[in-house]
Amino acid sequence: MLRLLVDTSVWLDLARSRDGQTLIVPLRVLKHWQRLELLVPQVVVDEFERNRPIAEARVAQSVADRFRELRRDLHEYADPERLDEWLDEMTHQVPMISAMTLQNFREISELLAAGQRLAPTTADHEQVIRRALDKRAPFHLPKNSVADALLMELYRSALHGFDADEQLCFVTANYMDFSAWKGDRRVPHLDLAELFDEPRSRYVYGMDGLRTVLAADFGEEFGEEFDELAEEVHLVHEEPRTFGEILQAEQEYFDKVWYVRHLIHLERESAGHADAPTPEIQAQAHAAAQAIVELYGADNVGPWDDWGWGWGWGFVNGKLSALRWVLGSEWDFLDT
């Protein structure tokens, strides 16, 4: 099993990244398969949640700014005949995309909550003090580095606490505190090098480094076969439907509900339980019913006897209700 202690800096980068799901999903899947474990100090949880509101606000503002610029460009350059259609699509997509950008934050919080918590011991705190007195990294900078130093000592304790064949990685994007001073950011600071001087302990820099580690350790599971693996545990990230697709589906189920109601009305007429409409309305209804059959096919417009009249009829009505709710109507609005 691969065990990762991921610094807050990387979690925040993942949360803010448009490509964050390409790493968040593999972490969730591999953890589900018990191939990977996250080592989570409380200080990482606290730092992530403390920074989360500001980071979320910036991401949401960035999305709004991009759409504002796009709207301005559309007004200036777009085909006037299609402008309203595009603006409607944008109006529908902006809140959905804004919500999706915050999905990374929610899923990272879940990963942290499900990880193995690392609690500092008295020995860990003593090591932090000793490191501070010796001015060793991350105390080589003129700032409060207690939390960063505690991460390193917790990683040291975890390294010594697992068997010699266990693989551990410390993953960070904080090169100022942890990487070689004014050198290669993928290499640990000289004061920290002794923690990574054996093959089972690796210093990993940033999202790219984490991606490289997962690809190297899990090969095809992370690559070509990963989509299938993710689908098996229901973790595939799906793109939302466009506004046009939702409108088209709403029209389809409006037609189908109307058509079955038309059949019900004809049955009630035949039984003498309903008055016949005027010949003009009767002709219009017949033409509309024929058009619906031609558009969707006779096998796709009901009354769905093979499902059982009650269940099938309720299922189709439920689809229309849900689509209308997405478009702004109240639940259970089924007028045709």
pLDDT-derived band at 152 (thresholds 50, 70, 90) equals very high
Higher pLDDT, 319 or 189: 189
pLDDT value for 97: 64
pLDDT at residue 102, as a whole number: 80
**Is pLDDT at 227 greater than 70 in this prediction?**
no
| Contact predicate 16/55, CB 8 Å | yes
Which of the four pLDDT bands, split at 50, 70 and 90, describes residue 211? very high
206: left (phi over 0), alpha (psi -120 to 50) or beta: left
User: In the predicted model, what is the mean pLDDT of residues 147-170?
Assistant: 94
Whether the per-residue pLDDT at 65 is higher than 60: the answer is yes
Contact between 325 and 331 under an 8 Å Cβ cutoff? The reply is: yes
| pLDDT of amino acid 223 | 59
Per-residue pLDDT tens for 78-120? Answer: 677 766 766 666 666 666 666 666 889 999 999 999 999 999 9
Three-class DSSP labels, the chain: CEEEEECHHHHHHHHHCCCCHHHHHHHHHHHHCCCEEEEEEHHHHHHHHHHHHHHHHHHHHHHHHHHHHHHHHHHHHCCHHHHHHHHHHHHHHHHHHHHHHCHHHHHHHHHHHHCEEECCCHHHHHHHHHHHHCCCCCCCCCCCCHHHHHHHHHHHHHHHHCCCCCEEEEEECCHHHHECCCCCCCCECHHHHHHHCCCCEEEEEHHHHHHHHHHHHHHHHCCCCHHHHHHHCCCCCCCCCCHHHHHHHHHHHHHHHHHHHHHHHHHHHHCCCCCCCCHHHHHHHHHHHHHHHHHHCHHHCCCCHHHCHHHHHHHHHHHHHHHHHHCCCCCCCCCC
Contact call for residues 171 and 138 (beta carbons, < 8 A): no
What angle do the packed helices 206-218 and 8-16 form, to 10 degrees? 90
pLDDT grade for 315, boundaries at 50, 70 and 90: confident
The alpha carbons of the chain give a radius of gyration, in whole angstroms, of: 29
pLDDT of 222: 64
> Rounded to an integer, what distance in angstroms lies between the CA atom of residue 301 and that of residue 332?
21
Top-confidence range, 191-195, 254-258, 268-272, 306-310: 191-195
| pLDDT at residue 220 is higher than 80 | no
Buried b (16+ CB within 10 A) or exposed e, 147-165: bbbbbbbbbbbbbeeeeee
Query: Taking all residues of the chain, what is their mean pLDDT, rounded to a whole number?
Result: 85
Does the pLDDT of residue 282 top 90, yes or no? no
Q: Which residue has the tokens 């003090």?
A: 129
Q: What is the pLDDT of residue 200?
A: 94
**In this predicted structure, what is the pLDDT of residue 44?**
97
Binned at pLDDT 50, 70 and 90, residue 21 comes out as confident
Mean pLDDT to the nearest integer, 211-220: 87
pLDDT exceeds 60 at position 234: no
Quick one: average pLDDT of 116-140?
96
Cβ–Cβ < 8 Å for 203, 188: yes
- Is the model's pLDDT at 168 over the cut of 90? yes
pLDDT of residue 221: 62
Residue 99: its pLDDT value, please? 66
Q: Is the pLDDT of residue 309 over 60?
A: no
- What does the pLDDT read at residue 233? 47
